[in-house]
Structure 1
Amino acid sequence: MVVELFTSQGCSSCPPADEMMRELATREGILPLSLHVDYWDYIGWRDHFAQPQFTIRQKSYAHAIGKRTIYTPQIIVQGADFLVGAKPMHLADMVMHQMSAPPAPVDLTVTREGERLSITAVPEGPLPPAMRLQVVRFDPHERVTIERGENAGQVVDYSNIVTEWRPLAEWNGLAPLAVTVDARGPESVAVILQAATPTGPGPILAASRLD
């Protein structure tokens, strides 16, 4: 299960949500991913983990559900359940809801072959007509001393900081898919299969992680 957090070092409401990600990172079967957005950089502290593409991804989710405004912190569970703010009980309910759902009928397999990843997706039943296979690279842990902005003076531990989120292939699920990708670098790697809707990202169907 994938839990995305849109966060920023310049957001005073975000440290409690960052702590929630640290707790989730210790749990089996859950892949929390911290995506740092750049739209708070103007208020006095530049988040050096932030990338414009993560702001674009958050906006794409908002568009997919008919929203015009984006917020931090925002948590999205399995591409389907949305939560604004650091609300542990609400998040626990969302995680339980997704964990109790039947898995998507697809076998996603990722193996490391030297400096490359071999990825296969095999349909095992009806799937959405449009899906996107993506590779995510992330740093498992960083500690940051924030010197300016709303969180000035705080030392914050961040978990699973996304450094790259890249599409690999579009897939209609009618035949098996096989892809290889470069796996060099120190970061951990995850592969995510997600439904693609006409308005934006849809539910995440499968994910696999390699450290």
Structure 2
Amino acid sequence: MHAVLLALPMLLTAATPRTPVLVELFTSEGCSSCPSADDSLARLAQKQPVEGAELIALGFHVDYWDSLGWKDPYAAPEYGARQRRYVLDGDENRVYTPQMVVDGERTFVGNEEEARAQAAAAAKRPKVPLNLTARVEGSAVVVRVRTETAPAEGLELWAALAEDGLSSEVKRGENAGRKLVHAAVVRTLASLPAPKAAEGSFVSEARLKLAPGWKREKLRAVVVLQAPGGAVRGAAAVELAQR
């Protein structure tokens, strides 16, 4: 009996759901101070070191370094545009790399210690539960999100596919001669339609196209419910189900 009583707190702790917290890193292979932040993002995603938080990591590679000697193969202009939205509504009024954003509200120079502190605070704020499924159908991923109630007016619902285990042998620029390894690299980003009443809840569904060369077994789907350029109200991440 004594052993059972000792085990009970452990079971209760294991059953306690973690609050999803979004950690975004704006980075570039052309930036010499970015590899350490990339490593921090990978550790946060893999180790999940914040009690009560499920850290959902996304690495956005921006393209505004591409003209300075090395073109980042994972960069896209829409990721820099996303970063600039935070600047317009944020408290620092500038873009830089490496820049982390936790739950859409706190921006800082990317480092693990600050990310942990901000994530711990963010985990205490309530979130809208998002039930997410993602399955591969041919050359696309069907993302389906269900909520018990209709999201508040003005919130945006978006999805991303992120790939782990990517690397580059950098030939030029500030990181010339280095092999850079990345986690949670955003491969594609898309807005989702507003959820509609269905099956006693509210459902949004979309197809995200897969590109050749993406390793499907290394991909995760992420969905986020967010105020435009601001606070994250809900988030979820799942691995892809294969048909």
Both structures adopt the same fold (TM-score exceeding 0.5): yes
Matched, 1:103 2:126: yes
In structure 2, what is the equivalent of residue 121 of structure 1?
147
- After TM superposition, list the pairs within 5 Å mapping 1:73-152 onto structure 2: 73-84=98-109, 86-99=110-123, 101-104=124-127, 106-112=128-134, 115=137, 116-123=142-149, 128-152=152-176
Task: Structure 2: give runs of 5+ residues left out of the alignment.
Answer: 1-20, 49-53, 211-215
* Alignment match, 1:25: 45
Residue 79 of structure 1: how far off its partner (Å): 0.7
Shift of 1:42: 0.8
CA distance in 1, matches of 2:234, 2:72: 30
Same amino acid, percent of matched pairs = 29
Q: Secondary structure, in 3 states, of the residue corresponding to 1:57? A: helix
CA deviation after TM superposition for structure 1 residue 143, in Å: 1.6
Counterpart of 1:25 in 2: which secondary structure? helix
- 8 Å contact from structure 1 (residues 128, 195) kept in 2: no
AA in 1 matched with 2:36: P
Contact kept, 8 Å, 1:107 with 1:123, in 2: the verdict is no
Following superposition of structure 1 onto structure 2, how do residues 1-211 of structure 1 map, counting pairs within 5 Å? 1-28=21-48, 29-65=54-90, 67-84=92-109, 86-99=110-123, 101-104=124-127, 106-112=128-134, 115=137, 116-123=142-149, 128-170=152-194, 176-182=201-207, 185=210, 186=216, 187-196=219-228, 201-211=229-239
**Structure 1 CA distance for aligned equivalents of residues 193 and 230 of structure 2:** 16
Residues 77-104 of structure 1: per-residue CA shift (max 9 Å, x gap): 01111112x43322221121112x2322
Tell me how far apart the structure 2 counterparts of residues 48 and 36 of structure 1 sit (CA, whole Å).
9
- The Cα shift of 1:195 comes to 1.5
The alignment yields a C-alpha RMSD, in angstroms, of 2.4
Does the CA contact (< 8 Å) of 2:27 and 2:62 recur in 1?
yes
CA shift for structure 1 position 32: 0.9
Structure 1 segments of 4+ aligned residues over 4 angstroms from their partners: none
TM (norm. structure 2) is 0.75
SS in structure 2 of the partner of residue 151 of structure 1: coil
- Which structure shows the bigger proportion of residues in strand conformation? 1
Q: Is the 8 A contact 1:131 1:170 kept in 2?
A: no
Distance in 2 between residues matched to 1:113 and 1:156, nearest whole Å: 30
CA separation of 1:145/1:202 partners in 2, compared to 1, >3 Å: closer, same or farther?
Answer: same
Deviations 1:33-71 (A, max 9, x none): 100000011110000100000000000110012654210
Asked if the contact 2:190–2:208 (Cα under 8 Å) also holds between the matched residues in 1, the reply is no
Aligned to 2:17: none
Q: After superposition, give the CA deviation of every residue in 1:83-139 in whole Å (9 maximum; x if it has no partner).
A: 12x43322221121112x2322x2311124663332112239xx7531111110111
| Contact 2:44/2:112 (8 A) holds in 1 | no
1:112 to 1:11, Cα distance in 2 relative to 1, 3 A: closer
* Higher-helix-fraction structure: 2
Mark the structure with the bigger radius of gyration.
2
1:114 and 1:46 map into 2 onto residues whose CA distance is 30
The letter for the 2-side match of 1:122 is E
CA contact under 8 A between 1:130 and 1:170: conserved in structure 2?
no
